[in-house]
Amino acid sequence: MREILELEYRGLNLLDEISTVEVAIDLIHKVIHIYDTNQVVEPEFNFTAKKYQMSDGFYQMAKVLYDKRFMVTENQSAEHWRDALTWVFYGSKKSIIKYEGLTSIEIPKEEALNVENSNQPFYEKYRARIM
């Protein structure tokens, strides 16, 4: 069984309204799952680079998590901590976006809903909601 710590983060969405993001932290596998349907911290598409990039809202949330010392090792900078984790975003887009290190992977929701797809670190509670 995986040890998951669940919490909520409140931030401003694209309409400058306060919205809540659900965060599930998998301490053992060093994966942070983010359920964000209100576009508070979800990655933004950079049309110039033709890929997703982290949003300002994400960096603000990551700083809060870093300051709370979740999975931070001694003398680890916020940037190194952030890049050492896997971040999985479930939200308003037609895909799940997974960041490992500095690489983003876009996983179509249809593929994510395939139960046999066990090689991805999905959080079942959030995966079930995107159907």
Question: pLDDT (tens digit, 9 = 90+) per residue, 41-71?
Answer: 999 988 998 888 999 999 999 999 999 887 7
Radius of gyration of the chain (CA): 14
Per the structure, the count of domains in the chain is 1
Pairing of the two strands 86-91 and 31-36: parallel
Beta-carbon contacts of 1 under 8 Å, excluding residues fewer than 6 positions away, are: none
Residue type (1 letter), 48: T
DSSP tag of 53: E
pLDDT at 104 over 80: yes
C-alpha–C-alpha distance, residues 20 and 102, integer Å: 26
Q: What is the pLDDT of residue 118?
A: 58
Domain of 115, in residue numbers = 4-129
> Is-contact 75 19, C-beta < 8 A?
no
pLDDT (tens digit per residue) in 68-102: 887 777 888 888 999 999 999 998 888 899 999 87
